[in-house]
A = this chain, B = another copy of it.
Amino acid sequence: MGPQILRIVPLGGLGELGRNMLVLECAEDLVVIDVGVMFPENDMLGVDVLIPDFSYVLERADKLRAIIITHGHEDHIGALPFLLRRVRAPVYATRLTRGLIEVKLDEAQIRDVDMHTIQPGDDLEVGPFRFEFFHVSHSIPDGVGLGIQTPVGLVVHSGDFKFDHSPVDGRRTDFAKLAELGGRGVKLLLSDSTNAEKPGYTPSEQVLGETLSRVFAGARGRVIVATFASNISRIQQIIDTSQYYHRHVAIVGRSMVDNVLIARELGYLHVPEGVLLSLEQLKQLPDEQVTIICTGSQGEPTSALVRMGQQRFRPVSIVPGDTVIVSATPIPGNEEFVNRTLDNLFRLGANVFYDEVLDVHVSGHASQEEQKLLINMLQPEYFVPIHGEYRHLVLHGKLAQRCGLKPENIFVIETGDVLELSAAGAEVVGHVSDTRVFVDGRGIGDLEQSVIEERRLLAGNGFLVAVVLVDKYTGGLLREPQIVTRGFVYEAESPDLLERAKEAVAKAVEWGGSRLEIEDRLQESLARLAFEQTGRRPIVIPVVVKV
């Protein structure tokens, strides 16, 4: 790789939702942008989170100069502890993002990380790259986009962004900087594709204030609002609205409490003294003076809202007259959990407002018109849609084409693809290891796809283990075989089946042979018996012991 070549290697987030991570590489220098986690889909059984495959970076650890984080969402910072356990480099982030990262590193007991605070307007030289940070509005404060001067030209990375013309914190996406970057001539734009399916403009976060106000105005009892713990602007608006209606506020749920604490400390959340109270203190107040902000907007099983719905959250019992606002849209895969929670809250008599019946959520990502605006302001020569499932990338690519970019200059690439840019042009030159690394408990990447596959079988049909003792001299069955099953049949109700399994064992043993031969025979006959009797296919494991 010559010095005048720039490599772009996405290690996550292209063709999938989450685990965003991108490598920029030039001869002897390598920079990582974002290191996020991805949340498992419903059939990735037992997986806590997925992280990027770090191999490409680890194999080039001596070239790694910096890790730059665009904002503090989990899909951009969540895998940082895993990376920093394997390799170290200076980490650059804005103040709030840094605060959120530090909580995470603390929890993971990772110390002595070389952290640097950046702010919009800063310039940062790293090897042959010069980074210029500019503010972007998003559903968490303090997000940045990147102008990156490289040996092959100017690259712009949008971060996660929207063009909110009236953001709650007053900080707009930096149009002036974008115009200036556009004026300098942009070689390559990497831009957020999350909402490439959505026509028009994403509404301002501020419109939510009006909706909240309407609901609060009509509320007679307590108001309980569930939303994303990271959406500080929304929390600000809920607190402001509560104050306006003379309500005090309690914050419930660990991530919510943590985020509010950091955001207040760092000045991103403004709450007058005396407004925030504990749940205990709120109990002294009449219901119409109470607001509770809590986690659970995605139906997370252990969250406060979900437990309230199940009447398993001690401090708060939902009663008729309570108003509940679920200020979020279900992330695909969470619909059933969210719906169950909504139904439970309705059953307890609450007035429930949620995205299907009221505009209680706005997205933090640019819709099509904003995506086109960014493309047109920058007029890049090359375009790579980032942050999106495959269809989002394709649709974003088509938008760029409609904006006048040459089709051959639009690269719809996926995680692991290697794109090289030089004076001569751009091309995809290969594909690197892009395994979805599963984290389950303390195991990182030791969870093979085969184990997930076993879980899928177990989930569908359970298992049956037969422990069989055979006399090594006579070859006869030494005693009644022991049959252990879980997730297959309800044993108490299936004595007949277990009886027949024991008969099958006796027959298989009669035929004699080596331990393995008997096990093979048993495996087959028990599986057949199980299917014939129940139509199910449990994992069948015979354990034959010759004594």
Contact = CB atoms under 8 A, between A and B. Distances in A.
A486 to B, nearest CB: 4
Interface in A496-547: 531, 533-536, 539, 541, 543, 545, 547
A451 B490 contact: yes
A440 B41 CA distance: 23
A454 interface: yes
Interface stretch (A100-108, A184-192, A278-286, A389-397): A389-397
Contacts of A543: 465, 467, 482, 484
B488 A451 contact: yes
A336 B335 CA distance: 10
Contacts of A493: 446, 448
A394 B451 contact: no
A356 B493 CA distance: 47
Contact of A459 (B41, B332, B458, B535): B458
Given A389-B339, A535-B441, A545-B482, A462 B467 contact: no
Contacts of A547: 469, 478, 547
A489 B336 contact: no
A451 B46 contact: no
Given A45-B459, A335-B333, A547-B478, A486 B343 contact: no
Contacts of A482: 543, 545
| Residues of A in contact with B, size category | 35 or more
A245 interface: no
Contact of A455 (B458, B469, B534): B458
A109 interface: no
A461 B541 CA distance: 18
B443 A45 contact: no
A479 B547 CA distance: 10
A484 B332 CA distance: 36
B469 A46 contact: no
Interface string A391-419: 10011000000000000000000000000
Among A390, A458, A462, find the residue whose CB has the most chain B CB atoms closer than 10 A. A458
A121 interface: no
Interface in A374-392: 389-391
A460 B46 contact: yes
B478 A458 contact: no
Contacts of A357: 197, 395
A474 interface: no
A461 B478 CA distance: 33
Q: State the 3 A-B residue pairs at the shortest beta-carbon distance, nearest first.
A: A441-B535, A442-B535, A459-B459
18 contacts: A332-B336, A333-B335, A339-B391, A343-B389, A343-B391, A347-B390, A441-B536, A442-B533, A443-B535, A443-B536, A446-B489, A463-B486, A467-B467, A467-B543, A479-B545, A482-B543, A486-B541, A547-B547
